[in-house]
Structure 1
Amino acid sequence: MTTADAEPSPLPAPASVPGRADAGFEITARHGAKARAGVITTPHGPIATPAFIPVGTKATVKAVLPEAMTQLGAQALLANAYHLYLQPGHDLVDEAGGLGAFMNWPGPSYTDSGGFQVMSLGAGFRKVLSSEFSGGVSARTASGEDDAVAEGKERLAHVDDDGVTFRSFINGDVHRFTPEISMQIQHGLGADVMFAFDELTTLMNSRRYQEQALERTRLWAIRCLAEHARLSFERTHRPYQQLWGVIQGAQYEDLRRQAAHDLGAMEVDGWSFDGFGIGGALEKENLGTIVGWVTDELPEQRPRHLLGISEVDDLFVAIAAGADTFDCVSPSRVARNSAVYTRTGRVNLTGARYRRQFAPIDESCDCYTCTHYTAAYIHHLFRAKEMLSSTLCTIHNERFVVRLVDEIRAAIPAGDFDALREERTAAYYGAPR
Structure 2
Amino acid sequence: MTVPGDFKVLARDGLARRGELQTAHGVVPTPIFMPVGTVGSVKSLCPADLHDADAKIILGNTYHLYLRPGDEMLARRGGLHEFMRWDGPILTDSGGFQVFSLAGLRTITEEGVEFRSHIDGSKHFFSPEKVMSIQNNIGSDIMMVLDECVPYGADREYTERSLKMTTRWARRCREAHPKGKNGQLLFGIVQGGFYEDLRKMSAQELMEIDFDGFAIGGLSVGESKPEMLSLMRYTAPLLPQDKPRYLMGVGTPMDILNGIRTGIDMFDCVLPTRNARNGTLFTSQGKVNIKRAEFKENDEPLDPNCSCYTCRTFSKAYLRHLYMAKELLSYRLNSIHNVHYFLELVKGARKAIEEGRFEEYRASVEAVYPGETPV
TM-score range, shorter chain: over 0.9
Tell me the equivalent position of 1:152.
none
1:210 maps onto 2:159 in alignment:
yes
Aligned amino acid, residue 351 of structure 2: A
Alignment correspondent of 1:136: none
Match of 1:128 in 2: none
Residue 244 and residue 430 in structure 1: after superposition, are their counterparts in 2 closer, same or farther (change >3 A)?
Answer: closer
**Equivalence for 1:421:** 362
- Structure 1 residue 21 displacement after superposition: 4.8
- The percent of aligned pairs where both chains have the same amino acid is 41
Written as runs of structure 1 = structure 2, the 5 A alignment for 1:314-333 is 314-333=255-274
Q: Is the 8 A contact 1:193 1:243 kept in 2?
A: yes
Q: For 2:281, what is the secondary structure of its paired residue?
A: strand
Q: Does 1:225 align with 2:174?
A: yes
Match of 1:340 among 260, 273, 281: 281
Asked if structure 1 preserves the Cα contact closer than 8 Å seen for 2:31 and 2:264, the reply is yes
> For residues 117 and 186 of structure 2, what CA distance do their matches in structure 1 show?
26
Q: Which of 248, 257, 260 is the equivalent residue of 2:203?
A: 260
Q: Which deviates the most, 98-107 or 20-29?
A: 20-29
CA RMSD of aligned residues (A): 1.7
Residues 344 and 431 of structure 1, relative CA distance in 2, 3 Å threshold: farther
**Aligned counterpart in structure 2 of residue 244 of structure 1, from 183, 187, 197:** 187
Cα distance, 1:430 vs structure 2: 7.0
Separation in structure 2 between the aligned mates of residue 294 and residue 430 of structure 1, nearest angstrom: 23
Question: Counterparts of 1:340 and 1:20 in 2: how far apart (Å)?
Answer: 39
CA 1:50/1:209 → structure 2, altered by over 3 Å: closer, same or farther? same
**Which residue of 108, 133, 138 maps to 1:159?**
108
Q: 1:355 aligns with which of 279, 296, 303?
A: 296
Deviation string for 1:180-229 (max 9, x for gaps)?
Answer: 00000001100100100000112121111111110110000010000012
Counterpart of 2:51 (choices 39, 64, 70) is 70
SS across alignment from 2:317: helix
Residue-by-residue CA offset, 1:358-403 (whole Å, 9 max, x unaligned): 1111111111100011111111111111100000000111111110
Q: Which residue of 2 aligns with 1:367?
A: 308
- 1:291 corresponds in structure 2 to 232
Tell me how far apart the structure 1 counterparts of residues 188 and 354 of structure 2 sit (CA, whole Å): 28
Match of 2:211 in 1: 273
Between stretches 311-320 and 47-56, larger displacement belongs to: 311-320
Residue 247 of structure 1 and its aligned partner are, at CA, apart by: 0.7
State the 1:350 CA deviation: 1.1
Q: How many residues align?
A: 371
Task: Provide the C-alpha distance between the structure 2 equivalents of 1:245 and 1:388, rounded to a whole number of angstroms.
Answer: 39
Aligned partners of 2:21 and 2:244 also within 8 Å? yes
Match of 1:168 in 2: 117
* Superposition TM-score, scaled by structure 1 size: 0.83
Aligned to 2:91: 110
Cα distance in structure 2, aligned partners of 1:69 and 1:246: 27
Indicate if the aligned counterparts of 1:358 and 1:374 stay in contact, CA closer than 8 A: yes
Please state how far the C-alpha of 1:90 moved relative to its aligned partner.
0.6
CA change 1:240–1:412 in 2 (3 A) is same
Task: Name the SS for the 2:183 alignment partner.
Answer: coil
1:86 maps to 67
Give the deviation of 1:22 after TM superposition. 4.1
Q: Which amino acid aligns with 2:129?
A: E
8 Å CA contact retained: 2:34, 2:59: yes
TM (norm. structure 2) is: 0.95
Distance in 1 of aligned mates of 2:372 and 2:275: 23
> Who is 1:378 aligned against?
319
Does residue 412 (structure 1) correspond to residue 361 (structure 2)? The answer is no
Instruction: Provide the C-alpha distance between the structure 2 equivalents of 1:226 and 1:99, rounded to a whole number of angstroms.
Output: 24
Residue 25 (structure 1) aligns with: 7
Contact 1:287 1:318 in 2 (8 A): no
CA contact (8 A) 1:73 1:402 kept: yes
Question: Match for 1:349: what amino acid?
Answer: I
The structure having more radius of gyration, on CA atoms, is: 1
Work out the CA distance in 1 between the residues paired with 2:186 and 2:82. Answer: 20
How far apart in 2 are the matches of 1:100 and 1:293? 36
1:216-253 deviations in whole A, cap 9, x for unaligned? Answer: 100000100000129x65xxxxx410000011112111
Change (3 A) 1:396 1:430: same
Cα offset for 1:429? 2.0
* 137, 148, 167: which one aligns with 1:188: 137
Corresponding residue SS for 1:396: helix
Structure 2 residue aligned with 1:99: 80
Task: Give the superposition deviation at 1:20.
Answer: 9.6
Q: Compared with structure 1, are the counterparts of its residues 349 and 21 closer, same or farther at alpha carbon in structure 2 (3 Å cutoff)? A: closer
Counterparts of 2:16 and 2:327 in 1: how far apart (Å)?
A: 42
Contact 1:57 1:83 in 2 (8 A): yes
The aligned residue for residue 40 of structure 1 is 21
Secondary structure in 1 matching 2:335: helix
Is the contact made by 2:203 and 2:239 (CA closer than 8 Å) also made in structure 1? yes
Amino acid at match of 1:74: A
Amino acid corresponding to residue 58 of structure 1 in structure 2: V
Over residues 85-109 of structure 1, what are the superposed CA-to-partner deviations in whole Å (9 max), with x where a residue is unaligned? 0000111111111111111111111
The one-letter amino acid of 1:249's match is G
C-alpha contact 1:342 1:428 (8 A) present in aligned 2: no
Q: Which amino acid aligns with 1:402?
A: L
The gaps in structure 1 that reach 5 residues or longer are 1-18, 125-154, 234-238, 267-271
State the SS of the aligned residue for 2:301: coil
Deviation at 1:310, TM superposition (A): 1.9
The one-letter code of the counterpart of 1:190 is G
